[in-house]
């Protein structure tokens, strides 16, 4: 067969190969030199595999300087060069992320070793594929004398001063080390350390790292070792390079154990497996544990365990035949941000959601991703129309982690949270110091219906017994109730016709609804679900204003006159009543027959009560009254209750089985009384 010449290669194939070389070299520089990767690993692997396929189809395209002929990376001119006596080669990545990837590798090994069906399974060392920076540690007579990055596989960078700051790397080996040994492994950053580092970066208004791998690479290649020392790195060994005066073990797994005996960190999750079945199970088991690991991995590594068989199998181009990296479905991919929509949650929070061109990532097709909030969008400079990096890990909701700026089209659009709710049209606000914007139409907004109804019917609000989660779900989904006012329009036949709702149960719910028509002003105010207004504040508002109309017409200045109402609460109340939709529902509730006593406060503060002006905390079980009844008695005596003990607490009432609140009171020196003393104070 005649070997094809360069002239036989289609022009499109030559041009595509040239473009791929340039693009891969550009990404190599961004990743290894600038420490600012422009594409996720999966995108890089796709480009590399495409170039490999072209060169395999048209061998005359292969050039000595092709990225497929060397290990990527260029040493920085800021570091001294280190020539690797034994090249630091990389291993091939298995593109099939299913069980077939492991089965295919085992089949190739058996074929290359000329094993038959009756021969025993091949023994493999199975390890994790760390997501960090490959480095080499040179020990002479047991002392660390040099550390270097992989670089381009032949020449790396001298990072000895920085590596010495990594506390997991021994400066002197234990036991009886050889005269010379070059330990090879991965420098990485644990997830928890990565999160803390980014928190510190954000607090200092400095650039955040995209992922732990990028953080590890950037930390190890700092010109100032003091900076590296402040960024906690870890190291795991996975092999050796040059070695002298040391009797090598017979297997790779025994080699790892020998390194561990010398005091070199080795991940304990490496194991020995047999045949394709063992490889498949290891890949599955580590994939299930992946999200719980202390560090990032993007796959596992299989190596023929016997070192003599490794020598027999040898190498092909830049890769050993006896090892492979079996990856998991990509957790990061590039796609297009088609639009940003806003979802309104059950509590009125507005959350921007990315609508994406569908992309397969993390084992599933993703078309939506969370964007968290407007500040996060602006911090990452995400615009509609951008090429974005989408990340999905396990069951975690997909998120956009960054933008591929070099692909930004000229007509991208910035995003801003709307000023009105996209669901109900009510005004949207964002409190100072908060990242989340919220809809103000709490009683009216369909997105908040279920939450608003459950709160409205709660025991401490209107106390509508029987109106729980499942019934509210049915009422809203069937379109029978759109606001709390619709509850008072329900009939027996309508309720009885719902699933799991017999006529007797329906009658009981209707009776509870009818009973709720007669309530108190403080309960009604609390039932409205105004943000920051709890039971205590609702009580103070009712006592201060006396009527609902007076409260609804109060501006922030008047609201600030109420005890314990500060600027944030006052603004929240004013916003709620300024929204016409909320006022409309309140008028509907009044029209439905909902009433409460008005005119004068139910509790006066004339100084006549035994507990006037005092803050009381109840803990444990009281025998003569319930907790709610005790709180009413305290209010009737001029006092107020609080849910937690602080230095502002005047008295703690401790019933049976009092817990941590009693301990806190003793710690702070707050007076504590028992139930008998409490009864005497109340005159009962």
Please choose, from the candidates 183, 174, 215, the residue with its C-alpha nearest in 3D space to the C-alpha of residue 196.
Answer: 215
Pair 131, 138: CB distance under 8 Å: no
Distance between CA 528 and CA 86 in Å, rounded? 74
Q: Give dist(CA 122, CA 108) in Å, integer.
A: 11
- Distance, in Å, from the CA atom of 491 to the CA atom of 510, rounded to the nearest integer, reads 8
Catalytic residue among 129, 303, 327, 380: 129
Q: Which single residue is written with the structure tokens 């008695």?
A: 633
Q: Could you tell me which residues are beta bridge partners of residue 632?
A: none
Alpha-carbon separation of residue 648 from 170, 620, 642 (angstroms): 54, 20, 10
133-140 and 349-361 strand pairing: unpaired
Q: What residues are paired with 439 via a beta bridge?
A: 428
Residues paired with 149 in a beta bridge: 135
β-partners of residue 333 are 390
136: left (phi over 0), alpha (psi -120 to 50) or beta: beta
Q: Are 345 and 55 in contact (CB under 8 A)?
A: no
Q: Which residue has the tokens 């005091």?
A: 263
Distance (Å, rounded) from C-alpha 56 to C-alpha 74? 25
Q: Which of 612, 610, 658 is nearest to 673 (CA)?
A: 658
In the block, which residue shows the tokens 């002479």?
140
For residue 186, give the H/E element and its range: strand 180-188
**Nearest to 519, CA basis, from 471, 466, 458, 467:** 458
CA 541, distance to chain mean position in Å, is: 40
CA distance 477 to 505: 20
The answer to whether residues 273 and 126 touch, using CB atoms and an 8 Å cutoff, is yes
CB 226 within 8 A of CB 241: no
CB-based contacts of 674, cutoff 8 Å, min separation 6: 653, 654, 655
With a CB cutoff of 8 Å and minimum separation 6, the contacts of 289 are none
3-state SS assignment for residue 301? strand
Gap between the Cα atoms of 582 and 588, Å rounded: 10
The Cα angle at residue 591 between residues 585 and 596, in degrees rounded to 5: 90
Quick one: CA dihedral 550, 553, 559, 565, positive or negative?
positive
3-class SS of residue 101: helix
SS3 652: strand
Which residues are within 8 A (CB) of 188 and not within 5 positions of it... i.e. 6 or more apart? 130, 131, 132, 133, 212, 213, 216, 233, 234, 235, 236, 295, 296
Q: How many CA atoms lie within 13 A of 408 on its CB side?
A: 15
What is the distance between the alpha carbons of residues 357 and 337, in angstroms, rounded to a whole number?
7
Any alpha helices (H) in 521-579, and if so which ranges?
521-527, 535-545, 548-552, 556-559, 567-578
To the query of whether residue 129 is one of the catalytic residues in this protein, the response is yes
Spatial distance between the Cα atoms of 675 and 684, rounded to a whole number of angstroms: 11
Q: Which residues are catalytic?
A: 129
């Amino acid at each position: 067969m005649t070997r094809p010449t360069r002239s036989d290669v289609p022009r499109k194939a030559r041009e595509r190969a040239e473009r791929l070389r340039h693009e891969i070299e550009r990404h190599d520089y961004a990743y290894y030199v600038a420490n600012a990767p422009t594409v996720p690993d999966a995108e890089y692997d796709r480009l590399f595999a495409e170039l490999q396929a072209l060169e395999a189809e048209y061998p005359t395209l292969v050039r000595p300087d092709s990225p497929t002929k060397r290990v990527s990376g260029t040493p920085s001119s800021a570091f001294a060069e280190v020539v690797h006596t034994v090249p630091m080669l990389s291993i091939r990545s298995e593109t099939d992320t299913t069980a077939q990837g492991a089965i295919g590798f085992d089949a190739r090994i058996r074929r290359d070793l000329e094993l038959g069906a009756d021969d025993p399974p091949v023994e493999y060392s199975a390890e994790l594929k760390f997501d960090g920076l490959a480095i080499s540690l040179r020990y002479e007579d047991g002392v660390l004398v040099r550390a270097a990055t992989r670089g381009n596989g032949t020449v790396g960078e001298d990072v000895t001063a920085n590596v010495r700051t990594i506390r997991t790397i021994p400066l002197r080996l234990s036991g009886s080390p050889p005269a010379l040994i070059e330990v090879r492994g991965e420098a990485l950053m644990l997830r928890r350390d990565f999160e803390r580092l980014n928190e510190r970066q954000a607090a200092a208004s400095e650039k955040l790292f995209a992922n732990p791998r990028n953080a590890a690479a950037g930390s190890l290649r700092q010109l100032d070792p003091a900076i590296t020392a402040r960024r906690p790195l870890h190291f795991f060994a996975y092999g050796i390079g040059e070695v002298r005066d040391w009797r090598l073990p017979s297997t790779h797994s025994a080699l790892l154990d020998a390194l561990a005996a010398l005091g070199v960190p080795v991940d304990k999750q490496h194991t020995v497996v047999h045949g394709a079945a063992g490889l498949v199970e290891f890949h599955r088991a580590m994939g299930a544990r992946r999200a719980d690991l202390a560090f990032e991995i993007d796959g596992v590594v299989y190596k023929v365990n016997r070192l003599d068989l490794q020598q027999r199998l040898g190498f092909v181009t830049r890769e050993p035949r006896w090892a492979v990296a079996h990856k998991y479905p990509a957790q990061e991919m590039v796609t297009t941000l088609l639009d940003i929509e806003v979802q309104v949650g059950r509590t009125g929070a507005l959350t921007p959601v990315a609508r994406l061109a569908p992309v397969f990532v993390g084992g599933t097709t993703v078309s939506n991703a969370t964007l968290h909030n407007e500040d996060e969008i602006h911090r990452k400079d995400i615009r509609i129309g951008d090429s974005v990096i989408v990340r999905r890990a396990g069951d975690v909701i997909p998120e956009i982690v960054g933008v591929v700026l070099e692909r930004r089209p000229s007509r991208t659009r910035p995003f801003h949270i709307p000023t009105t709710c996209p669901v109900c049209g009510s005004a949207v606000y964002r409190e100072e110091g908060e990242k989340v914007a919220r809809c103000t139409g709490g009683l009216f907004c369909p997105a908040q219906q279920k939450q608003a109804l459950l709160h409205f019917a709660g025991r401490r609000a209107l106390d509508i017994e029987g109106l729980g989660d499942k019934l509210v779900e049915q009422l809203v989904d069937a379109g029978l109730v759109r606001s709390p006012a619709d509850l008072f329009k329900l009939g027996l036949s309508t309720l009885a016709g719902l699933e799991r709702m017999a006529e007797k149960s329906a009658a009981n719910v209707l009776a509870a609804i009818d009973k709720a028509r007669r309530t108190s002003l403080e309960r009604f105010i609390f039932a409205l679900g105004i943000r920051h207004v709890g039971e205590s504040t609702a009580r103070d508002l009712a006592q201060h204003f006396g009527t609902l109309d007076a409260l609804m017409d109060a501006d922030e200045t008047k609201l600030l006159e109420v005890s314990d109402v500060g600027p944030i609460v006052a603004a929240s109340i004013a916003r709620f009543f300024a929204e016409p939709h909320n006022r409309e529902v309140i008028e509907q509730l009044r029209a439905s027959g909902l009433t409460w006593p008005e005119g004068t406060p139910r509790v006066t503060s004339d100084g006549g009560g035994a507990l006037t002006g005092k803050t009381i905390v109840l803990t444990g079980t009281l025998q003569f009254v319930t907790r709610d009844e005790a709180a009413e008695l305290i209010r009737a005596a001029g006092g107020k209750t609080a849910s937690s003990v602080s230095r502002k607490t005047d008295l703690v009432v401790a019933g049976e089985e009092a817990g941590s609140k009693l301990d806190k009171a003793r710690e702070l020196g707050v007076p504590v009384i028992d139930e008998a003393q409490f009864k005497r104070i109340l005159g009962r």
